[in-house]
Structure 1
Amino acid sequence: MILVTASTIGRYLFSNPIPNVVTIVEMYLMPLLIFGAASLVQRNNDHIVVDALHRRFQTRTKSLISVISLAIGISIFGLISILSIQEGAILTIEGSQTSGQLSLPIGPSWLIVGFGLLVLCARMFEQLITNLLDLIAEYDSSTTELFSRWV
């Protein structure tokens, strides 16, 4: 933000912007900001939820939906993470760089995406285990109640 603001001020007040700000922001700062914060967003449950439907479900149904969605998310983001890390490693080994006035290595931005998603998957796995344990505990308590009614 400071870099873009400084470049804008330089462009309009001094007719001399900071060169290659857009490239630096899109190659390094945006992936770091977005994929670095994904795990934090997941931890705080600050992601988008269809609240009108979510409020109407019972706790057991919410936990079951959460387990299913977390399993799907881990599968998809895990695959993207692995592929991003592989691509980042290949690009780093090859020494691929951006074209233009400023040659920046491309590999690290892919690695940022991959490792950010890997941390997100770890957070989602932790939540998956927690929700599974909650489901099991709820199932055990409901079967105990049901069994005690019959005895």
Structure 2
Amino acid sequence: MLKIYNKIDQFLAYLSSFALFIMMVLIVANAVLRFFLNKPIAGVIEFTGEYLMVFVVFLAMSFTQKNGGHVKVELIQRFFSVRVKSVFDVLVKILSAGIFLVLTYTSFLLFLRHVNQGIHSISSIAYPLAPAVLAISFGSFVMFIRLLLSIFIEKIFNNNIKTNDLEM
């Protein structure tokens, strides 16, 4: 099961990377067309901010967590013992998991509202926003699962192994 979850995580990271690539291409094309032809691409700024950036951030969160890539503030923690650090780490992961569970639920309700009401962007190309909101919900759910896995795996192996050390 962990191998399947890691494959899903890897796939989402690839989708996030692809969204970043598309975002780069659109922004560069927009800048070139604006500078040389004075004809920017309509809606590029809105589309990259409301759509692509959401995919870049939320689809890669769990993968980044697994690989220890999130920023940690360890200013105070360096003064604590290993045991206190371990307890603090678990508490932060539990609190984070709770926040991501709430975000999953509320963003899914927002997704349903967007679908039912047909809410579109107010930009010049008026694209539907529901897929971006669904990406927030799905990415948050995957991150919630990753945090739970991290807590349980580290506790099962008595802190001798971190989640990203496992070949899942």
Paired residues of 1:84 and 1:114 also in contact (CA < 8 A): yes
Percent identity for Structure 1 against Structure 2: 25
What secondary structure, in the 3-state scheme, does the structure 2 residue paired with 1:3 have? helix
Task: Give the aligned partner of residue 122 of structure 1.
Answer: 145
Q: Name the structure 1 match of 2:57.
A: 34
What letter is aligned with 1:94?
Q
- Of structures 1 and 2, the larger Rg is shown by 1
Quote the residue 1:141 is aligned against. none
Counterpart check, 1:113 vs 2:136: yes
Query: Which runs of 5 or more residues in structure 2 are unaligned?
Result: 1-23, 161-168
SS in 1 for 2:76: helix
1:115 shift after superposition: 0.6
Greater than 6 Å deviation, 4+ residue runs = none
What is the match of residue 147 of structure 1? none
Matched pairs, number: 137
Tell me the CA shift for residue 135 of structure 1: 4.8
Q: Which deviations, in whole Å up to 9, do the C-alpha atoms of 1:86-145 show, x marking residues without a partner? A: 1012111221112242111111111111111111111101011123334599xxxxxxxx
Question: Which residue pairs with 2:104 in the alignment?
Answer: 81
Matched, 1:101 2:124: yes
Q: CA deviation at 1:56?
A: 4.0
Instruction: Give the deviation of 1:53 after TM superposition.
Output: 3.4
Equivalent-residue separation in structure 2 for 1:113 and 1:136 (angstroms) = 31
Asked whether the equivalents of residues 38 and 120 of structure 1 are also in contact (C-alpha less than 8 Å), the reply is yes
Q: Please give the root-mean-square deviation of Cα atoms over the aligned residues, in Å.
A: 1.8
Structure 1 portions without partners, runs of 5+:
138-151
